[in-house]
């Protein structure tokens, strides 16, 4: 197996410094970890750290709080975390504890989480600004209010609450939007694992296989490659299911003449990949499927070619919509001129989602798409998906039967570079001939 690639400690420290540079003097930022979620009874969901918290700390335990106080003489970066507890560790695994945290993570101070009520109000006191993602952690919001109010009610004793609350997201999410060299390496590994999983899946497809069996192939390849989970529930939709955008039941049998749309990506070292391909169950696309597939592929290539520094975020989408509309007019599925159909947005009955989104620690990653009401321009280090699709839902009226139930999306992950772009998922075939050749070779092998 390839050696693990991960973000190093220096990078987490650099991110904290960058955020603190954006904060005003005499201010404080507070970030809680994610909460452990109960599934039922004594069973918990596997814990996944909050992306903002992880981005700044690299710390993966629950019940933790990160506090940043730029310019504080006794230390700027403070972590509250669980203390070591042999009984709890016997049941749930290792707890690092404040002493070891100081040694391992490069914070300036670390305290038991049980001491937070005593310590944090004193750190908030008399700060002019408190940076916090209000509304994102409902229970923690109450605790923040409690600490702030305790300072207010104590005003007679001379304490002062912070002067102003500032939304942390606008600063932190702008940092997260631009990926470092290390982040690109991790994203590339997530992309590589996802590509290998799609290739394995593609070679399993045959009439009679169930969607969940194909999903199992993905998950097996993800986990055996060191990705602990999918970045989002995998979509494996055969036949009409391909026209349901967020289909995740994955419980249907794949039939001979159908397509199967597979939208799946792993999460590796907290970073997501997000890839879609649409395969013919028989190993060969029908003529009607080829007609629609070719339009989507051309749209995707046109969209990708729009990605370069200086072009704006919506240009790939506009290029994709134009190719799709033109193609559907040519097939007689839309009527009117290109301009008329685009102005009336009648193409939306066949393609109803946008052509991409930022990608990073979250599959739909953070970062603004518009700045002061205008589409923002691409800059090196941004990572986006490009994922046009055409969905001909069986309920649509007046559509030739040969097209009904065809749902096709093609999605890749793209890094914006100095001069243009790099496709992180380029190793996964998307040409009709390449896909058919790989599937045929696999089928021949199965029958030998
Ligand atoms: N997999 C979700 C998306 O493509 O946006
Ligand atoms: Mn996707
Ligand atoms: Mn996507």
Residue 156 has pLDDT above 80, yes or no: no
Q: Residue 80: beta bridge partners?
A: 65, 111
For all residues of the chain together, what is the average pLDDT? 96
Residue 46 has pLDDT above 80, yes or no: yes
Domain locations in the chain as residue ranges: 9-175, 178-447
User: What does the alpha-carbon distance between residue 311 and residue 10 come to, in Å, rounded to a whole number?
Assistant: 33
Contacts of 334 (CB under 8 A, 6+ apart): 325, 328, 341, 346, 347, 350
Span 165-178, average pLDDT = 96
Identify which of 194, 236, 385, 388 to mutate to test ligand 1's pocket (most ligand atoms within 8 A of the CB): 385
What pLDDT does 38 receive? 94
Shortest-distance atom of ligand 1 to CA 411: 4
* Residue 175 backbone class (left: φ over 0; alpha: ψ -120 to 50; beta: rest): alpha
Shortest-distance atom of ligand 1 to CA 232: 1
Residues having C-beta closer than 5 Å to ion ligand 3: 274, 385
Q: Please report which helix (H) or strand (E) contains residue 391, including its range.
A: strand 389-391
Q: For residue range 126-143, list pLDDT tens digits in order.
A: 899 999 999 999 999 999
CA of 305 to the centre of ligand 2 (A): 19
Q: Could you check whether 9-175 and 178-447 share the same CATH topology?
A: no
Q: Is 178-447 a CATH 2.60.40.1120 domain?
A: no
387 lines ligand 1 (CB under 6 A): yes
Residue 1 has pLDDT above 80, yes or no: no
What pLDDT does 448 receive? 83
Q: For residue range 259-307, list pLDDT tens digits in order.
A: 999 999 999 999 999 999 999 999 999 999 999 999 999 999 999 999 9
Residues having C-beta closer than 5 Å to ion ligand 2: 263, 274, 411
240 lines ligand 1 (CB under 6 A): no
Residue 79 has pLDDT above 80, yes or no: yes
Span 169-189, average pLDDT = 97
Q: For residue range 314-350, list pLDDT tens digits in order.
A: 999 999 999 999 999 999 999 999 999 999 999 999 9
What pLDDT does 160 receive? 80
What pLDDT does 197 receive? 98
What pLDDT does 161 receive? 81
What pLDDT does 153 receive? 76
Span 351-359, average pLDDT = 97
Q: For residue range 85-113, list pLDDT tens digits in order.
A: 999 999 999 999 999 999 999 999 999 99
Nearest CA to ligand 1 atom 5: 364
CA of 242 to the centre of ligand 1 (A): 13
What pLDDT does 163 receive? 83
Residue 58 has pLDDT above 80, yes or no: yes
CA of 361 to the centre of ligand 1 (A): 14
Residue 157 has pLDDT above 80, yes or no: no
pLDDT over 90 percentage in the chain: 95
Shortest-distance atom of ligand 1 to CA 264: 1
Hey, what long-range contacts does 241-247 have (CB within 8 A, 24 or more apart)?
Answer: 241/211, 241/407, 242/278, 242/391, 242/405, 242/406, 242/407, 242/408, 243/391, 243/392, 243/393, 243/394, 243/405, 243/406, 243/407, 244/407, 245/352, 245/353, 245/391
232 lines ligand 1 (CB under 6 A): yes
CA of 335 to the centre of ligand 2 (A): 30
CATH entry, 9-175, from 3.20.20.450, 3.40.350.10, 3.40.50.10190, 3.40.30.10: 3.40.350.10
Residue 447 has pLDDT above 90, yes or no: no
What pLDDT does 281 receive? 98
Buried b (16+ CB within 10 A) or exposed e, 255-269: eeebbbbbbbbbbbb
Please tell me whether the overall predicted TM-score, pTM, comes out greater than 0.85 for this model.
Answer: yes
Nearest CA to ligand 1 atom 4: 274
User: What does the alpha-carbon distance between residue 16 and residue 32 come to, in Å, rounded to a whole number?
Assistant: 15
Shortest-distance atom of ligand 1 to CA 357: 5
Span 24-38, average pLDDT = 96
- In angstroms, how far is CA 230 from the centroid of its own chain? 10
CA of 230 to the centre of ligand 2 (A): 11
Span 177-196, average pLDDT = 98
Span 199-205, average pLDDT = 97
């Amino acid at each position: 197996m390839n050696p693990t690639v991960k973000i190093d400690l220096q990078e987490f420290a650099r991110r904290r410094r960058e955020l603190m540079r954006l904060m005003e003097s005499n201010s404080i930022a507070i970030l809680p970890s994610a909460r452990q979620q109960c599934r039922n009874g004594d069973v918990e969901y596997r814990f996944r750290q909050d992306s903002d918290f992880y981005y700044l700390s690299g710390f993966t335990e629950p019940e933790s709080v990160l506090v940043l106080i730029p310019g504080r003489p006794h230390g700027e970066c403070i972590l509250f975390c669980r203390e070591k507890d042999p009984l709890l560790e016997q049941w749930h695994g290792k707890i690092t504890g404040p002493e070891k945290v100081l040694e391992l993570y490069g914070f300036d101070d670390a305290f038991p989480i049980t001491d937070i009520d005593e310590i944090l109000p004193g750190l908030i006191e008399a700060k002019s600004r408190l940076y916090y993602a209000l509304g994102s952690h409902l229970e923690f919001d109450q605790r923040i209010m409690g600490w702030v109010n305790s300072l207010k009610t104590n005003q007679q004793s001379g304490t002062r609450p912070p002067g102003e609350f500032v939304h942390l997201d606008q600063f932190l999410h702008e940092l997260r939007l631009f990926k470092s060299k290390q982040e690109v390496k991790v994203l590339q590994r997530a992309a590589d694992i996802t590509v290998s999983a799609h290739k394995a899946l593609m070679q399993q497809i045959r009439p009679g296989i169930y969607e969940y069996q194909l999903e199992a192939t993905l998950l097996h390849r993800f986990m055996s490659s060191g990705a602990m989970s999918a970045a989002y529930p995998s979509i494996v939709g055969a036949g009409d299911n391909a026209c349901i955008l967020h289909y995740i039941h994955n419980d249907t049998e794949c039939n001979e003449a159908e397509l199967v749309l597979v939208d799946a990506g792993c999460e590796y070292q907290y970073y997501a990949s997000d890839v879609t391909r649409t395969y013919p169950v028989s190993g060969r696309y029908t003529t009607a499927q080829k007609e629609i597939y070719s339009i989507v592929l051309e749209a995707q290539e046109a969209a990708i070619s729009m990605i370069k520094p200086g072009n704006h975020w919506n240009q790939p989408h506009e290029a994709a919509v134009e190719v799709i509309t033109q193609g559907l007019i040519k097939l007689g599925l839309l009527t009117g001129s290109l301009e008329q159909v685009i102005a009336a947005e009648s193409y939306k009955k066949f393609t109803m989602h946008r052509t991409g989104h930022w990608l990073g620690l979250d599959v739909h990653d953070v970062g603004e798409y518009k700045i002061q009401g205008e589409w923002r321009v691409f800059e090196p280090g941004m990572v986006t998906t490009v994922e046009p699709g055409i969905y001909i839902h069986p309920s649509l009226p007046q559509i030739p039967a040969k097209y009904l139930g065809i749902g096709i999306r093609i999605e890749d992950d793209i890094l914006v570079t100095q001069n243009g772009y790099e496709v992180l998922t380029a190793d996964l075939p998307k040409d009709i001939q390449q896909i058919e050749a790989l599937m045929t070779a696999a089928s021949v092998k199965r029958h030998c």
